[in-house]
Amino acid sequence: MADDADGLRELLCLLFDTEPDFTVVGRAANGAEAVEVVARTEPDLVLLDVAMPVLDGLGALPRVRRAVPEARVVIFTGFSERSLREEAMALGADELMEKDLSTGALLDRIRQMCRRPRLV
């Protein structure tokens, strides 16, 4: 879970930890930390915020992909631009989700994405 907003990151971690089919294995406050955590923990799912200091989510995405090519990667953003979605997908994201989703909708969309075959 990578987001520079400490409160949001911790709330999302709490949310995922209450679900029986998710376990949070790492937290990061910026893209560089996210790459380090991902390389160390090899998660099945990575949530990357777009706007983070040091290295943003789009900059971290190719490095995350190299570290865990089989993981699902979600770009999590407060911005809803078609060009951002296209760029994220071109860099290897499996999905782009907006932060204004309800918690139920977020969990549902992530579960649906995880059930789909991963196109490599």
Cα dihedral 106, 110, 116, 120 in deg (nearest 10): 120
Using alpha carbons, list the distances in angstroms from residue 2 to 27, 37, 119: 6, 9, 23
pLDDT at residue 119, rounded to an integer: 65
Q: How confident is the model at residue 116 (pLDDT cuts 50, 70, 90)?
A: confident
Assign 102 to helix, strand or coil. coil
C-beta of residue 24 within 8 angstroms of C-beta of residue 15: no
CATH of domain 6-114: 3.40.50.2300
For the chain, helix (H) and strand (E) counts, in that order, are 5, 3
Residues 26-49 have pLDDT tens digits of: 999 999 999 999 999 999 999 999
Q: What is the pTM of this model?
A: 0.90
- pLDDT confidence bin for 82, thresholds 50/70/90: confident
Token duo for residue 85: 């979605």
Q: Supply the mean pLDDT for the chain.
A: 93
Please give the span between the terminal C-alpha atoms of the chain, in angstroms, as a whole number: 22
Which one, of 117, 105, 3, 11, lies nearest residue 54 by Cα?
A: 3
Average pLDDT over residues 100-117: 91
Distances 25 to 40, 86, 118, 120 between C-alpha atoms, Å: 10, 28, 21, 23
- Residue given tokens 């407060």 in the structure block: 78
- Confidence grade of residue 83 (pLDDT, cut at 50, 70, 90): confident
Average the pLDDT over 76-83 and give the result.
Answer: 81
> What was the pLDDT predicted at 8?
93
Which pLDDT band, with edges at 50, 70 and 90, does 25 fall under?
very high
